[in-house]
Amino acid sequence: MLYSVNCIKRKMANDFQFKEELAILFNWLQNQPHLPIIETLPMKNFLIACNGNLDSAKSLIIKQYEMRNYYKALFIERDPSSDASRDFWNIADTILFPGLTSNCGKVIFMRLRDFDVSKYNFNDSIKMIIMFYDALLSVPDPSGIIPKEYICICDMTGYSLSHILKVSILTLRAFIKFYQEGISIKIKNIHIINCSDLINRIMTILTPLLNERVKKMIICHSPNTETIFDYVPKEMFPSDYNGNSKSIQELKDESWNQFETTWPYLIDRKYWEIDESKRIEPKSESWFGSFVKDFW
The DSSP secondary-structure symbol of 238 reads: B
Q: Is residue 2's pLDDT more than 50? A: no
CA contacts within 13 A on the Cβ side of 30 = 6
> Which residues share a beta bridge with 111?
93, 155
Asked whether residue 8 carries a pLDDT value surpassing 60, the answer given is: no
Q: How confident is the model at residue 11 (pLDDT cuts 50, 70, 90)?
A: low
How much of the chain exceeds pLDDT 70, in percent?
90
pLDDT digits (tens, 9 = 90+) for 28-60: 999 999 999 999 999 999 999 999 999 999 999
In sequence order, what are the residues at sequence separation of 6 or more whose Cβ sits closer than 8 angstroms to the Cβ of residue 94?
A: 108, 109, 110, 128, 129, 132, 255
**pLDDT (0 to 100) of residue 179:** 94
Q: 199-203, 209-213, 225-229, 289-293: which range is least confident on average? A: 289-293
Domain ranges of the chain: 16-70, 83-264
Least confident of 94-103, 177-186, 287-296: 287-296
DSSP state of 170: H
Contacts (Cβ under 8 Å, ≥6 apart) of 168: 122, 123
Instruction: Kindly give, in sequence order, each residue whose CB lies less than 8 Å from that of residue 122, ignoring residues fewer than 6 positions away.
Output: 166, 167, 168, 171, 172
Q: Does domain 83-264 have CATH number 3.40.525.10?
A: yes
Lowest mean pLDDT among 10-24, 115-129, 279-293: 279-293
Average pLDDT over the chain reads 89
Burial class (CB in 10 A: 0-12, 13-18, 19+), 169: exposed
Residue 165 contacts residue 122 (beta carbons within 8 Å)? no
> By the 8 A CB rule, do 78 and 262 touch?
no
pLDDT value for 266: 97
The CA distance from 17 to 10, in Å, is: 9
Residue 31, helix vs strand vs coil:
coil
8 Å CB contact between 130 and 174:
no
Residue 232 phi, psi (nearest 5): -130, 125
DSSP β-bridge partners for residue 238:
245
Determine the residue type at 51.
N
Q: Which of 42-51, 163-172, 230-239, 281-290 has the lowest mean pLDDT?
A: 281-290
- 3-class secondary structure, 68: helix
Rounded Cα–Cα distance for residues 199 and 163 (Å): 12
Asked if the model's pLDDT at residue 194 lies above 90, the reply is yes
Q: What local confidence, expressed as pLDDT, does residue 295 receive?
A: 44
Please classify residue 141 by burial: count the beta carbons closer than 10 Å to its beta carbon, then call 0-12 exposed, 13-18 middle and 19+ buried. middle
Residue 222 has pLDDT above 80, yes or no: yes
User: What kind and span of H or E run contains 65?
Assistant: helix 54-70
Asked whether the beta carbons of 47 and 21 are under 8 A apart, the reply is: yes
